[in-house]
Amino acid sequence: MKTFYVTTPIYYANSLPHMGHLYTTVVGDFLRRYKRQRGFETFFLTGTDEHGTNIERASAKAGRTPREHVDYIVGELQKMFGAFGLDTEHGGFDIFMRTTEPFHYEGAQEFWRRAAAGRTPKGRENIYKGFYEGWFCAPCATFKTEAEMLPAVEEGGPPLCPIHERPLDKVSEESYFFRLSDYDEALLEIYEARPDFVRPEARRNEVVSLVRGGLEDVSISRLKSSVSWAIPVPDDPQHTVYIWFDALINYITALGWGSEQRRAQAGEDLFEKFWPGVHLIGKDILRQHAVLWPAMLLAAGVELPRAVVAHGLWLDQTGRKGSKTLGNALELPTLLRHFKVDAVRYFLLREMSFGQDAKVDYEAIIERSNADLANGFGNLVSRTLTMIHKYFGGIVPVDDIPESKRLLAKRAGVGSDAQELSSSLELMRDQFIQSIEEFAFHRALEAAWGMIARVDKFISDAKPWELAKSEEQRETLGAVLYRAAEAVRWLAVLLYPVMPESSNAIRVQLGLAGEALVSDPAELKWGGLRPGEQVGEVAPLFPRIDKVKTMSEIEQKVFLDYAASLVDESKPAEGAHATQAAVPGAPTAAGTQPAQPPQQGATEAQAPPEGVAYISIDDFVKVELRVGQVLTAERVPKSDKLLRFTVDVGEAEPRQILAGIAEHYEPEAMVGRKLVIVANLKPRKLRGFESQGMVLAASVGEEGRPVLATFTEDVPNGARLK
Partner RNA sequence: UGCGGAGUAGCUCAGUGGCAGAGCAGCGGUCUCAUAAACCGCCGGUCGCGGGUUCGAUUCCCGCCUCCGCGACCA
Binding site for RNA (CB under 7 A): 146-147, 150-151, 202, 205-206, 209, 283, 315, 317-321, 351, 353, 356-359, 364, 367, 371-379, 381-383, 386-387, 390, 440, 443, 446, 453, 456-457, 459-461, 463-466, 540-544, 585, 637-642, 658-660, 684, 686-687, 694
Residue 140 bears catalytic tag: yes
Cβ nearer to RNA, comparing 383 with 673: 383
Nearest by Cα to 435 from 447, 451, 423, 450: 447
Supply the Cα-derived Rg of the chain in whole angstroms.
32
Q: Find the shortest distance in angstroms from Cβ 406 to RNA.
A: 23
Contact 310, 286 (CB under 8 A): yes
Q: Find the shortest distance in angstroms from Cβ 388 to RNA.
A: 9
How far apart (Å, rounded) are the C-alpha atoms in residues 462 and 412? 7
Cβ nearer to RNA, comparing 249 with 352: 352
Q: Find the shortest distance in angstroms from Cβ 110 to RNA.
A: 33
Catalytic annotation, pick one of 21, 35, 144, 338: 21
Cβ nearer to RNA, comparing 60 with 371: 371
Cβ nearer to RNA, comparing 31 with 481: 481
How far apart (Å, rounded) are the C-alpha atoms in residues 697 and 317? 28
Q: Find the shortest distance in angstroms from Cβ 447 to RNA.
A: 10
Q: Find the shortest distance in angstroms from Cβ 366 to RNA.
A: 10
For the purposes of burial, counting CB atoms within 10 Å of the CB of 165, is it exposed (0-12), middle (13-18) or buried (19 or more)?
A: exposed
Contact 493, 516 (CB under 8 A): no
Pairing of strands 358-359, 314-315: parallel
Residue 549 bears catalytic tag: no
Q: What are phi and psi of 126, to 5 degrees?
A: -70, -40
Which residues are bridge partners to 13 per DSSP? none
Q: Find the shortest distance in angstroms from Cβ 383 to RNA.
A: 3
Tell me which DSSP letter residue 289 carries. Answer: I
Q: Find the shortest distance in angstroms from Cβ 548 to RNA.
A: 12
H-helix or E-strand spanning residue 281 = strand 278-282
Residue 289 bears catalytic tag: no
Contact 524, 428 (CB under 8 A): no
Catalytic annotation, pick one of 18, 51, 144, 279: 18
Residue 18 bears catalytic tag: yes
Q: Find the shortest distance in angstroms from Cβ 45 to RNA.
A: 26
Strand order in the sheet with 3-12: 95-98, 41-49, 3-12, 278-282, 307-311, 198-199
Tell me which DSSP letter residue 372 carries. Answer: I
How far apart (Å, rounded) are the C-alpha atoms in residues 253 and 263? 9
Vertex 492: Cα angle to 489 and 497 (nearest 5): 150
Contact 567, 609 (CB under 8 A): yes
Cβ nearer to RNA, comparing 218 with 286: 286
Vertex 653: Cα angle to 652 and 659 (nearest 5): 135
Nearest by Cα to 297 from 193, 183, 395: 183
Catalytic annotation, pick one of 51, 137, 311, 442: 137
| Three-state secondary-structure class, residue 433 | helix
Tell me which DSSP letter residue 159 carries. Answer: -
Pairing of strands 41-49, 95-98: parallel
| Three-state secondary-structure class, residue 671 | coil
Contact 334, 557 (CB under 8 A): yes
Contact 497, 417 (CB under 8 A): no
Q: Find the shortest distance in angstroms from Cβ 387 to RNA.
A: 4
Q: Find the shortest distance in angstroms from Cβ 461 to RNA.
A: 7
Residue 340 bears catalytic tag: no
Contact 626, 721 (CB under 8 A): yes
- Count of CB atoms situated within 10 Å of the CB of 591: 18
Cβ nearer to RNA, comparing 165 with 713: 165
Can you give the length of the chain in residues? 722
Which residues are bridge partners to 240 per DSSP? 222, 232
How far apart (Å, rounded) are the C-alpha atoms in residues 128 and 126? 7
Residue 324 bears catalytic tag: yes
Catalytic annotation, pick one of 61, 122, 170, 324: 324
Residue 161 bears catalytic tag: yes
Q: Find the shortest distance in angstroms from Cβ 574 to RNA.
A: 25
How far out from the chain centre does Cα 71 lie?
21
Positions of E strands within 288-415: 307-311, 314-315, 358-359
Cβ nearer to RNA, comparing 351 with 417: 351
How far apart (Å, rounded) are the C-alpha atoms in residues 403 and 475? 11
Q: Find the shortest distance in angstroms from Cβ 252 to RNA.
A: 28
How far apart (Å, rounded) are the C-alpha atoms in residues 707 and 699? 6
Residue 164 bears catalytic tag: yes
Cβ nearer to RNA, comparing 295 with 484: 484
Q: Find the shortest distance in angstroms from Cβ 375 to RNA.
A: 3
Catalytic annotation, pick one of 140, 224, 273, 283: 140
Cβ nearer to RNA, comparing 147 with 652: 147
Vertex 618: Cα angle to 614 and 621 (nearest 5): 105
CA end-to-end span of the chain, whole Å? 82
How far apart (Å, rounded) are the C-alpha atoms in residues 428 and 581? 65
H-helix or E-strand spanning residue 631 = strand 625-635
Catalytic annotation, pick one of 90, 283, 321, 547: 321
Q: What are phi and psi of 132, to 5 degrees?
A: -95, 125
Q: Which residues are catalytic?
A: 18, 21, 137, 140, 161, 164, 321, 324
